[in-house]
Amino acid sequence: MLTRKQRDLLLFIHERMTAGDVAPSFEEMKDALGLKSKSGIHRLINALVERGYLERMPHRARALEVRKLPEGSKIAPEDNTAAARITRAIDSVRAEVSSIFESIPLHGKIAAGTPIEAIRDENTTIDVPPDLMGRSGRHYALTISGDSMINAGIHDGDTVIIREADTADNGTIVVALVDDSEATLKRYRRSGNKIILEPENDAYEPRVLEPERVKVQGHLVGLMRTYH
């Protein structure tokens, strides 16, 4: 996702090159974005090149070419530039994917080891196959940090899919909020008047807590893994 300045610069360059086939000067870019120095333009262009939106072209005046436009751009019907064609194709694929997958919030990291403070990012989403979520309900995703659940097949860096719930049966793997500040993924058990949060790794000890210290936030229903 581009920042506002990155998006504004990219669209400005595209508009100028559509009209004249030559990229605007750094001075013109600086003035258009209201920046005080050209160094800010250099940083924005580097970021756009790294993200594949711009390409530096050798042996050409001002040596820039727009490869694609920002997601959701309003492209004029008469715009038949390569960037416009590529962006239309990308938007078409995104529309097809969105009809197959369901977008759910990705709420940052959760510890599967020593508990960490709950991290919540309301602005990031992830596309998930509906079959991975099972029955209906509200869902969100978390990225695993730590190795305390490896015997349950949950590894550091995995993305887990959570169905929201505030209660749990014995043996359920849950997101537990401890003392209203620490979020952790553990197997939930109730023993007498205590709550036990059990790891799935012999290197870690279970945590035995008073019930009022533990709030169930949801149940594990799915997992996604990326291989590098």
Range 36-45 burial, b when 16+ CB lie within 10 A, else e:
eeeebbeebb
Q: Which of 5, 145, 148, 194 is catalytic?
A: 148
76: left (phi over 0), alpha (psi -120 to 50) or beta: beta
For residue 10, pLDDT beyond 70: yes
User: pTM for this one?
Assistant: 0.57
Our answer to whether residue 148 is catalytic in this structure is: yes
Out of 38, 68, 186, 194, pick the active-site residue.
Answer: 186
CATH H-level superfamily of 102-224? Umud Fragment, subunit A (2.10.109.10)
Work out the angle at residue 72's Cα, subtended by the Cα atoms of residues 18 and 83, and round it to the nearest 5 degrees.
Answer: 30
Highest mean pLDDT among 21-30, 56-65, 93-102, 196-205: 196-205
186 is catalytic: yes
For the chain, residues classed under CATH 2.10.109.10 are 102-224
User: Which residue spans of the chain are classified as CATH 1.10.10.10?
Assistant: 4-98
The Cα–Cα gap between 47 and 6 comes to: 8
Q: Stretch 125-137: mean pLDDT, rounded?
A: 79
Per CATH, domain 4-98 is 1.10.10.10: yes
